[in-house]
Amino acid sequence: MRLNSHIINGLSLMVIQGANALFPLLIFPYLLSVLGKDAFAEMVVAETLAFYVLTVCLYSFDISGVQAIIDARSQSEKAREAECFINILSVRIVLFLISSLIVVSLYYVFTDGNVLILLGWLAFSLGLILQCNYYFQAIENNLLLAVFVLIARLAGVVAVYVFIHSEADVVLTSLILGASFLLSGVAAIIVLFNHFTLNCVRLASINAMISLIYEGRHLFFGNVSVTLFRGANVLILAGVSNSTAVSSYALAEKVIKSIQALARPLNQLFVPRVVKAWSLLSIKQRNNLQAFHLVWRNTRVQVFLMAFVLPIGVVSIYIAHTWGIVPGFSDQTILLIALMAPAVIFGVANAMFGAVGLNLIGAQSYFASVVFIVGACIFLFSMIMSRYYAAFGAASAFILAEMLLLTSFTWKYLRTPTHG
């Protein structure tokens, strides 16, 4: 019975990430072909800003929230579980309101873009906040969320093909895409409030919220730094290059991130196992080398699988391009995809050895410092390379960042055998 629940949960995670991954693959090449390079570039710049807002709002809770819910459930304390849930949600909503106000104001003052495009993408950010993915991962029951996500993404794909036909539809495009994520988020939050009842709102506490923010600060700064180099390339290209480079790179990056999203169910499946296995170790057993072996045992399957699947995926995209099956792809985009593809493998390992593993050994400060330093260096590197090599310069910065992060993360485990 337990085996069946693990299989169902694993398949549910695959559906969630599969829907999120295939969503941009199904619509972004089409959108580039019907909106044109200029409107498409404006849309992806707004999307990048919405991702920054999302990073602030998610904070560190995709990792720390999972651990908090697991701890509460292990003690069979539903009140404590509800308290964790409502305070995390409250922090995220407050951060969303503040960061959205700042980003919209800056966008209005310093760009000539349409604010409605950005507002549409902010609905995407809000939807992912309300989905509370971390909670469903912690309880290892993602079936209902998978149903909501699949229905919402399918509705979004259908709406794009039915209603979007020209450059004039760029605002409607952002509203449709944002609404797809908001729909699944609202459905998920209704289920969670039904589970905990609306009375759980009374458990929200300013002191608890401040405590959560303080405790998760290191992971948060690390996440912000990751977004700095993973999300900034589109903005950098928009500033130093042209709409052709922005469009080509943005589409290639979207494909790579979609493949990363398809790999994420593996991360989400193994993260609770790592956390639980670590919690069962005695204090004397909890050292950096033990953590390395524990994380690697739960990472190697993911790495080997990606190393096998990735070349097949890239070749399939190339064949589909040459046969004219997929619209919107250029030869430059295909080359960019091939260049950036290895970043998927490094990214899978970074997710496990970085935020997850370093959090276990109490190296959150090291995580934040390393990611910030790498992010800042790659940001400068990307600005220089993008200026002279346009999209290919940005792509080289993208993969170099993942390589530097993995080297820095693993060094911590192997070089400092202290107790966590």
Strand residues in 266-358 grouped as ranges (E): none
Helix (H) or strand (E) holding 113: none
DSSP output for 223-274: HHHHHHHHHHHHHHHHHHS-HHHHHHHHHHHHHHHHHHHHHHHHHHHHHHHH
Residues for the chain: how many in total?
420
CB neighbourhood size of 375 (10 A): 23
Strand partners, 419: 287
Residue 52's φ and ψ, nearest 5 degrees, are: -65, -45
CB neighbourhood size of 247 (10 A): 28
In the chain, the N- to C-terminal Cα span, in Å, equals 35
Domain boundaries, the chain: 1-215, 217-420
Strand partners, 287: 419
User: Using CA atoms, how far apart are residues 374 and 418, in angstroms rounded to an integer?
Assistant: 24
301 three-class SS: helix
pLDDT in tens, 371-412: 889 888 999 999 999 999 999 999 999 999 999 999 999 999
pLDDT values of the chain reduced to their tens digit, one per residue, 420 residues:
455 777 888 788 888 878 887 888 889 989 998 999 899 999 999 998 999 999 899 888 887 888 888 888 877 778 888 999 999 999 999 999 999 999 999 999 988 889 999 999 999 999 999 999 999 988 888 899 999 999 999 999 999 999 999 999 999 999 999 999 999 999 999 999 999 888 888 888 999 999 988 888 877 887 777 776 667 888 899 888 888 899 999 899 888 888 877 777 777 778 888 888 888 888 888 889 899 999 999 999 889 988 988 898 889 888 888 887 777 788 899 999 999 999 999 999 998 998 889 988 888 889 888 988 988 899 999 999 999 999 999 999 999 999 999 999 999 998 755 444
User: Using CA atoms, how far apart are residues 116 and 43, in angstroms rounded to an integer?
Assistant: 10
How far from chain centre, in Å, is Cα 411? 25
pLDDT of 229 reads 65
Rounded to 5, what percent of the chain is helix, strand, coil? 90, 0, 10
Spatial contact of 385 and 397, defined as CB atoms under 8 Å apart: yes
* CB burial of residue 110 (10 Å; 0-12, 13-18, 19+): exposed
Assigned token pair, 210: 């401040």
193-221: burial string, b at 16+ Cβ within 10 Å, e else: beebeeebeebeeeebbeebeeebebbbb
User: Using CA atoms, how far apart are residues 301 and 224, in angstroms rounded to an integer?
Assistant: 28
Say which residue the tokens 């080398």 belong to: 289
Residue 329's φ and ψ, nearest 5 degrees, are: -85, 135
pLDDT of 420 reads 43
